[in-house]
Structure 1
């Protein structure tokens, strides 16, 4: 490991530990999911502020003048604002810099209302700019006037001052590793909040190992992907993971939940994805497709499992028409798959996490599944994952892999359901177990009790039922029982019991006789 990576790993671990300690210490009686919006929002604000400070420092390096002095100069101000806004997509005035707010707090003059003004000013600075859409409503969940923070301005100021000063004490790292360290720490916090959010956690976070699995599958054979898409993007972890394995040109995503939508945009920016490199929309993917007609090099998703959806008029929709049936009203799983396939380009790869029911349920789902295999020939692999990997649900899940340019008609099955490391609350995939899945998928060869390449004929014989045990036999035969030896053992045990019983009765009789004397 290089020195830079060692430094980064150390910084990362320390920053993560401190951030979670801050979150736990300061939230008091506030629910973790509520406090999440405040601490993540302020971390993000510091990230934006530090970015402006660093840019201005470089911009004015030869002018022997501070940011505040340059901003106070009437002749310099407009050009300075335009320069920073064009480069970064937003602007933070010197009086609103994170370091200025910290100085206020240290001097005992911090005011939560000034912080609210500072936050609002960031969004206002993007109005009319190319970045406006990407920043619109980004801080809506950072409500600093909420009585959850305190009943008075003084109480709210006192709490947020503590958060501010704690965040100010954190070493965000050297310039060359700062974005990676801070971005990963931010995502770590998202994961920690998910672990404490109960049933709702699955709405915004996909465990890192599962994200890695999907990312490695869709980037296989590609060093560069022009555009990638997640129709139920949550906090954006799946999209960002793709960037770890290939150079991504642009990120596209849609998310229904407003808070999670904001979280996802922040997460992208915190990982160094520029505002002009992503397009993220809020809305119901199945009802309002913001990217209608667009196709992408890679598509990934961990959609809500067996969600309810409105099927009215959907067979008139280009995404769903050809299958002849709509996914059931109470189970939108295949609707998400159909939507994703409509957005996958002919040379791309798609990977989606779904409940096992999609593999074998009949009726409309059986019809859709058959069409995808028999008519479109797009299903490439079925990968069974262990149970209890995801926050908020203990059910086992499966990864379905789709490709449109297949010349073969087989489907590759992997049963990784028994490969996991048991954790306190959730099971985990180790790096070794993850590597085994990816390596097996790459080789596409049978592995006893683990993987099988099923022909089209096998799938037809099973009436297009894709239940993994039909293709990967993991049954372990029990050793034959030696009945004669077992009978002898029983007889010996009975004899031993009889002997001990006789000895016990003799002891009791002797005690009775002694008592009579």
Structure 2
């Protein structure tokens, strides 16, 4: 830099903050040849990360004019204005480089200078002296950025420099900290993040003595006063812990570390002398949390924690399973799995809160575990399919199986880490009315931390037995070797768990009597285990599964199909009810689910029947959250429907076993609950009248177009045909303004006529297809196949080896046209197959195609191929068996069904599944009646097709 004098007047001092902000987006640049130093601007998010946004002087002055000048005027009007001005205190809670503080100080100094008019001759020195006095006494600021704090002090000093006078201290006035938390709290948080020891409460007794009791609690013990029942506070606290363990230990080890330390902190806090009346166990003072907190980081911290937890277990056997499942000083491959530094950081963060009263918040452990599952996913562990059951869902499960408080009942959860037993415990406590009852809770879970969490959540008021076992491989057995039985079973097992050996099922026929589940999915293996664990006289169970478990395998002839297992269970008549539940009920998955209720001893009036409740689209999501909470009124409606056992339109239905059999044991409630789309049809007379009016307008407009085109008037005029001839030969040069207006009117009138004609066809179709005839599944009179989408790698390889041989590829969007003659998509022929049963087959001309995916605006669209083409996975093709089902009849029926697939659609996008199409009940009259229906609809179909072609032609010309 060149040597030169720098003059720092008031305006230049204020711009220092702007310079500092600009440097956040600059990096040093050294030129070796010229031996110079400079900066180059780079794109970065430095300003955003630091929150450094310089406030322009014009905005500062505007703010002071509005807010500060009235205060100055009030001070100057006092009896002693000088004292009133010097008593003013100005604080900027995000002071940055001090721009606002300096500008405010200058205004106070100017007022003081005016008052001290006897020293007017030396105005400059007087004003600077006044500014120095104000800056020393009246300015206060806080900022998170230590560099900004230092810069603020420098700017104030530069503003108040006087010859032969030293700089005055500003450390007590301009501080680095978080204004929202408070200086003391922020300092403690910073100390904890750095791993320093807790500040001594006796360090600043003088300051403490001047504080009220309430202020002392907030400033000196601030974290103890924060409500952990506030989800946002809990999540921020857990985020601090997650930052310590992420990318340092495995996800499973991270969850174990955090939860095990939280457990011990909770037990230690409950052992404080003030809480001895509520103590269920003993933790010696030398082994309490303070000992963990003050232990040095000397390589022995992990072993120390392990030893004191083992001692706590020896003194309190009921803590076995809660503590001791993790060795904090574990070595692997000669290295510590978790070093003392990581442990110390976690300990200091956890020390911020007193956990003695978290049990008052019944969702504390639930929410903690669910949050850790969500933010520490483990793709290589079985827990990836384990979804912690929210308390509101667990409550619904409990109320469906109706346990009573009195009696010596026992309860079992084969996957207890999902939290069902804790929901049951809280429900029973609500029924207790202060009475004690002997209840026995038994749980199994493969994951140790899940078992520990379940026991901690259940508390110490019940008899609890939890086992860390793989339930399917090592079930609970009595001394005789027989499976233990329970009065009530609640389970939310891992969904779609794969990898279970066939030998597990084959070698245990008493536990799996209904069939062998496929190795890729253990859902119905879990269900059979639950049923085998029930008391054979009066057992009841509630099981949550993925919604797909209700329909997988229907239509399959495989002996190991899940459909066959469902069939056997239905025929055994122990399934009491099925409730479909919506997406986003769980913390870690958006998938919809179902709740199955089993009753070993069904009441006589319920035998031979199953209650279906469809709540898939019943619940409303909160505006502020993706997750849906099952509200009390929604839960009460489901319980009421379960108790009444009556069919309620669009919500629930009691179905016979015969009806279930007719649906090929597809158990989705939507197939049984009446959800007819209520489409209002206007009278035929009204539709015909409006059609005649619109047709007259359209014909009149067409004649004007023909006249404009100088069509010979002596020739016969049929506007529908002649217009198409002329328009197809027209070029864009013929379009003057008058003709364009006529064409636009023609397009509009044809659009109106098309809508009315579709409405008329809908009304006629509704009468024609409301047949009192036999309905059979579509798969019994037609062959149905879906399409495919090649992978990018597959497609790229095919393109390299294909020499211009491509074929049309139909997507769901192509079904806008009812007769497909061209498509945008193309596929290399090498990717297709000649086998008509293959998803990769090329479909011949006249194949009926149906859109099954793509959302509500696309699903259900039907078309006929006018060219050979392959189809993608969002489309299915249907080949009717011509001896029983007429091709044109099927097309007319599917066109009519366009807006009526409401019962079969599933998921958030309201898509169809191939299985739903196969199982759809088709009205099937004899072939003669089918042909009569086609003939009645043919004029409507032809007119609609013609209008669509003309509208497309008009749009093409107008666009050109």
Per the shorter chain, which TM-score range? Answer: 0.7 to 0.9
1:313: how far off? 5.8
Give the structure 2 partner of residue 301 of structure 1: 491
- Per the alignment, residue 377 of structure 1 pairs with 573
1:445 matched residue in structure 2: 646
Corresponding residue number in structure 2 for 1:47: 266
2:596 corresponds, among 388, 396, 400, to 400
Identify the residue that residue 305 of structure 2 maps to in structure 1. Answer: 118
Q: Secondary structure at the match of 2:563?
A: helix
Partners of 2:496 and 2:255 in 1: CA distance: 27
Q: 1:205 aligns with which of 388, 392, 395?
A: 388
* Alpha-carbon shift at residue 416 of structure 1 (Å): 0.4
CA drift of 1:52 comes to 3.5
Q: Deviations over 1:290-320 (max 9, x none)?
A: 2452111210111122222111263341434
Alignment counterpart, residue 312 of structure 1, candidates 503, 516, 522: 503
- Measured in 2, the distance between the counterparts of 1:439 and 1:223 equals 23
Change (3 A) 1:425 1:477: same
> Contact conserved, 1:297 with 1:347, CA < 8 A, in 2?
yes
**How far is 1:278 from its partner?**
1.4
Pair 1:337–1:472, CA change in 2 (3 A): same
Q: Which residues of structure 2 form unaligned runs of 5+?
A: 1-224, 430-437, 706-735, 742-960
Q: 1:456 to 1:139 in 2, by over 3 A?
A: same
Seen in structure 2, the aligned counterparts of structure 1 residues 215 and 487 have a Cα distance that, compared at 3 Å, is farther
Counterpart for residue 353 of structure 1: 544
Question: How big is the shift at 1:180?
Answer: 3.2
Per-residue CA distance 1:155-208 (angstroms, 9 max, x = gap): 4365134314313xx4643xxxx5333x53222211222343457565251233
Separation (CA, whole Å) in 2 of partners of 1:447 and 1:501: 60
Sort the Cα spacing of 1:293 and 1:201 in 2 relative to 1 into closer, same or farther, 3 A: closer
Please state if 1:419 is matched with 2:618.
Answer: yes
| Structure 1 residue 133, shift from structure 2 partner | 5.1
Rate the CA distance shift 1:466–1:306 in 2: closer, same or farther, 3 A.
same
1:156 aligns with 2:342: yes
Cα distance change, pair 317–467 in 1 and its aligned pair in 2 (3 A): same
Deviation (angstroms), 1:439? 1.8
Q: Distance in 2 between matches of 1:133 and 1:162?
A: 25
Query: Quick check: 2:388–2:417 contact (8 Å CA) kept in 1?
Result: yes
d(CA) in 2 for partners of 1:483, 1:40: 69
Q: Which residue number in structure 1 is paired with residue 360 of structure 2?
A: 180
**Aligned partners of 1:94 and 1:130: how far apart in 2?**
18
> What does residue 268 of structure 1 align with?
455
State the alpha-carbon separation in 1 of the partners of residues 338 and 570 from structure 2. Answer: 60
Asked whether the equivalents of residues 254 and 280 of structure 1 are also in contact (C-alpha less than 8 Å), the reply is yes
CA 1:218/1:123 → structure 2, altered by over 3 Å: closer, same or farther?
Answer: farther
Q: Is the 1:111–1:157 contact (alpha carbons within 8 Å) kept by the matching residues of 2?
A: no
- Pairing 1:104-253 to 2, within 5 Å after superposition: 104=294, 113-114=300-301, 116-127=303-314, 130-131=317-318, 134-135=321-322, 137-140=324-327, 153=340, 155-156=341-342, 158-167=344-353, 170=354, 172-173=356-357, 179-181=359-361, 184-197=363-376, 202-219=385-402, 226-235=409-418, 237-246=419-428, 249-253=439-443
CA distance in 2, matches of 1:372, 1:413: 16
Aligned to 1:282: 468
Partner of 1:326: 516
Match of 1:461 in 2: 662
Aligned counterparts of 1:463 and 1:116: Cα–Cα separation in 2: 60
Distance 1:243 1:440, change over 3 A: same
Q: How far 1:271 moved relative to its partner?
A: 4.1
| Contact residue 384 and residue 414 of structure 1 kept, 8 A | yes
| DSSP 3-state at the match of 2:455 | helix
Rate the CA distance shift 1:465–1:427 in 2: closer, same or farther, 3 A: same
Which deviates further from its counterpart, 340-349 or 46-55?
A: 46-55
Counterpart residue number, 2:243: 28
Question: TM-score scaled by structure 1?
Answer: 0.74
Counterpart secondary structure, 2:283: coil
Q: Residue deviations 1:200-220, cap 9 Å, x none?
A: 565251233222211211225
Cα deviation 1:134-167 (Å, max 9, x = unaligned) = 3574234x568899999974x4365134314313
Cα 1:310–1:350 shift into 2, 3 Å? same
The structural deviation recorded for 1:369 is 1.7
RMSD over equivalenced CA pairs, Å? 4.0
In structure 2, C-alpha distance between the alignment counterparts of 1:371 and 1:151, rounded to whole Å? 50
After superposition, the Cα gap between the structure-2 partners of 1:12 and 1:240, relative to the gap in structure 1 and judged at 3 Å, is farther
2:676 equivalent among 475, 491, 501 = 475
- The alpha-carbon deviation at position 132 of structure 1 amounts to 7.5
Bigger proportion of residues as helix: 1
Whole-angstrom distance in 2 between the partners of 1:471 and 1:230: 30
Q: Judge conservation of contact 1:225–1:298 (CA < 8 Å) in 2.
A: no
CA contact (8 A) 2:578 2:613 kept: yes
CA contact (8 A) 2:489 2:540 kept: yes
CA distance in 1, matches of 2:395, 2:650: 24
Q: How many residues align?
A: 449
Once the two structures are overlaid, the 10-residue window that deviates more, 327-336 or 397-406, is: 327-336
Alpha-carbon distance in structure 1 between the residues aligned to 2:661 and 2:618: 29
Deviation at 1:483, TM superposition (A): 4.6
**Alpha-carbon offset, residue 453 of structure 1:** 0.8
